[in-house]
Amino acid sequence: KLQHERKTRFSVLTPNMKGFEGAVDAGAKTVAVFTAASESFNKKNTNATIAESLERFKPMMAAAKAKGIRVRGYVSCVAGCPYEGKVDPQKVAQVSKALLDMGCYEISLGDTIGVGTPASVKAVIEAVKEVVPLPQIAVHFHDTYGQALANTITALQMGVNVVDCAVAGLGGCPYAKGATGNVATEDVLYMLHGMGIETGVDMNQVLDAGAFISAKLGRPTVSRAAKALRPQPLACL
């Protein structure tokens, strides 16, 4: 069972009713459904077309409403697709509105393969904010090409105030060859705190969490801030 903390909200990805029921049994109060702005990627990732995936969410949305569970919606490949290339921002807006209309309280726009730049991110947000209120838009940037922090700044300047990130830069996708993890939480915090933006997040505790999970996985952190703030001693030959 999930141990809920006063200031922490656990969100569980639920691709279907079986996943939703498992999340509820584990004590989840928030779940997330996910589709894509690319038909090819969605078929690879969920074995369904975009329309089929949206239809699959309907019983979950009804069950969540009956149980008082909040549902977050994710849209993958908003800036580009590994199979189709460039993705039309209007397609992203169309899928985002569908999720909003179904009852999702927030829509997270995911640059799944990390190809987005400030210009393409701006175009996507401009399109989506026409159909989804800005306070209900979040962003989710992978850092494959080192653009995630720049894209985060762009989103913040446009009025988005929710940013998904991952301790130690963990993440990736088996259906997005070459894609790296999400932008590192430590890097986002260092940037925001340096800009005088209050986050309510303790950097030292995040650094501890990043060091813990990196050791467990047997891989070094990819966070540049973590490497600078908690440098590892050099091995002696």
Active site residues: 173
- The length of the chain is 237
The secondary structure of the chain as a DSSP string is -----TT---EEE-SSHHHHHHHHHTT-SEEEEEEES-HHHHHHHHSS-HHHHHHHHHHHHHHHHHHT-EEEEEEE-SS-BTTTBS--HHHHHHHHHHHHHHT-SEEEEEETTS---HHHHHHHHHHHTTTS-GGGEEEEEB-TTS-HHHHHHHHHHTT---EE-BGGG----TTSTT---BPBHHHHHHHHHHTT------HHHHHHHHHHHHHHHTS----HHHHHHSPPPPPP-
The type of residue at 164 is D
